[in-house]
Amino acid sequence: MNQRDQSSPTSTPRPPRPLRQPSNSEWGFATKPDGTLVFRNWYFLVATAGIGLLLALTGVLIFLVPIPAWMVFLEWKGVELKDGQITYPVRLGLPLATITEVPALFRKTLDLSEVHDATTATIRHERGDFIQQFIRVANLTGEFGAAKVVFDSKAGRDRLFAVLKKQFPHITIHRWT
C-alpha cells in the first residue's frame, strides 16, 4: 500500500438523491408569492409588444401606442387561477379573426364552482400560402353561460385542463386531445 491509500479516510457511499419535482416554470406556468398560478401566452405577448414598438418607433399614429401597451399589460397578467377562480383576458370577435386583429380588451373572473363542462376548440387562420396560425380555446360552460379562455399553444391549454382535472374534479372535460 502506498501512503496515499493509508492516509485517506474511508469514504461512505452517498445517499441516493431524492427525485426532483419539476418546477412550475417547467410545467409552463408561474406561481406568484400569494399562490396564484399564472399561464402566460408568450406568442401573444411578443406579438402585441411588437405592434406597440412598431407604432412607437415609426411615429405614425403615436396616439395609438397606449392601446398595444394595454394589450401587453393584459397578456402579461395572463390567465390566473387562484382560490377557485379563474381570471383571463377577454377577446371579442373570436373566431372571426386572429389574435393580432382582435386584442384583449379587459379581464373577467369566473368562479370555478359554477363551471360544469370544459371543451376544447382549435381556430386555424391562414395568412398567405405558408403561414398558419393556430389558436387554442378552452370553452368553459356552466350556470354563468359560456366563456372562452384563449391560448397560443395546445400545451398551455392542456396545462390548464390538467390543473382543472386535479383540483376541480366536478368539471367534466370533453374532447381533451
58-89 residue pLDDT tens: 776 666 677 777 877 888 888 888 888 999 88
Span 34-173: which CATH code?
2.30.29
Q: How confident is the model over 14-44, as pLDDT tens digits?
A: 666 554 444 544 455 677 888 788 888 877 7
Count other C-beta atoms under 10 Å from residue 73's C-beta: 13
The DSSP result for 15-84, as a single string, is PPPPPPPPPHHHHTEEE-TTS-EEE--HHHHHHHHHHHHHHHHH-TTGGGTHHHHHHHHHHHH-EEEETT
What residue segments make up the domains of the chain, in order of their start? 34-173
